[in-house]
Amino acid sequence: MGLLDRHLEIKTPEQIGLMRRAGLLVGETLDLLGAAAKAGVTTGELDALAEDNIRSHGGVPSFLNYGHPPFPGTICASVNDEVVHGIPGSRVLVDGDVISIDCGAIVDGWHGDAAITVAIGDVAPEVTELMRVTEEALWAGMAAARLSGRVSDISRAVETTVRSQGDYGILEDYVGHGIGTEMHMAPNVPNVAHRGERGPKLVPGLALAVEPMVTLGSSETDVLDDDWTVVTADGSLAAHFEHTFTVTPDGAWVLTALDGGEERLTALGVPFGGR
Ligand code: MG
Ligand code: MG
């Protein structure tokens, strides 16, 4: 692969094709988990399902043993006021919960990373709305990406989409990221636009994970004693949606979406760049 500069990993079209395989495995795994997440199921059971599906399709869970202390799961399972990095275990999901499931896999050395938030049974209308707004912001961010545009175009679209629809908190301490031969690479992809910070130029072969984390209250967070679980400081509920995507000369391609993002991108008037 060529390196545009020291910081950004630029993939060839063939390498992006390999990333699509990892992305599809992540997308398929999240599809399974979304259907399996029901009242009475533990987050640990969801984790086992994810690990089985990834390994049985030739992938490796990328979260497992990541970081310090080593993350002990295949998925992050973040329930209610947990925003991201929740550790799966014996917690039983109950009606009215909202769970964010983040999943990553490596296939032949290439990474995919995506997240969904799922309502368990009946949740309050404002929670359904929070989920809708967060997912819409993710797609607006990806739809704003143009070759020769900037990473800040994505950030601005995410922020504007959220802020235009209510008094939500948008996490700033946690951001999206470049992705490829590692899960977390340059550049950062913030969910808010900062004046004067345009970020790197968007070029073919750059792959990014966009992941708005939005709350019904404050954007301030704390980390629990397990050194991983990020919770809202005010106890408000949170949602998190993420996709890995790239922009080809033909348009955007959402590598972790089952249809490559074609349906939603088309609805947003954005050319589909997948194949
Ligand atoms: Mg993720
Ligand atoms: Mg990520």
CA of 248 to the centre of ligand 1 (A): 22
Rounded (5°) CA angle 77-61-259: 80
Tokens of 245: 């995507």
CA of 209 to the centre of ligand 1 (A): 8
Residues with Cβ–ion distance below 5 A, ligand 1: 102, 113, 115, 242
- Is 198 within the bounds of a domain? yes
- Is 225 within the bounds of a domain? yes
CATH code of residue 81: 3.90.230.10
Give the per-residue pLDDT at 275. Answer: 81
- C-alpha to C-alpha distance for 68 and 70, rounded to whole angstroms: 5
Q: Which residues form the domain of 72?
A: 10-267
Residue 25 per-residue DSSP state: H
Q: 36 by DSSP, 3-state: which? A: helix
Ligand approaching nearest to the C-alpha of 75? 1
- Is 1 within the bounds of a domain? no
Give the per-residue pLDDT at 195. Answer: 87
* pLDDT over 60 (residue 178): yes
Ligand approaching nearest to the C-alpha of 30? 1
Q: What domain count does the chain have? A: 1
- Is 274 within the bounds of a domain? no
CA of 102 to the centre of ligand 1 (A): 5
The answer to whether 261 and 245 are in contact (CB under 8 A) is yes
Average pLDDT of span 73-96: 98
179-214 residue pLDDT tens: 999 999 999 999 999 988 899 999 999 999 999 999
CA of 270 to the centre of ligand 1 (A): 24
Average pLDDT of the residues of the chain: 96
Ligand approaching nearest to the C-alpha of 182? 2
CA of 115 to the centre of ligand 1 (A): 6
- DSSP codes joined into one string, 133-185: HHHHHHHHHHHT--TTSBHHHHHHHHHHHHHTTSS-EE-SSS-EEE-SSSSSE
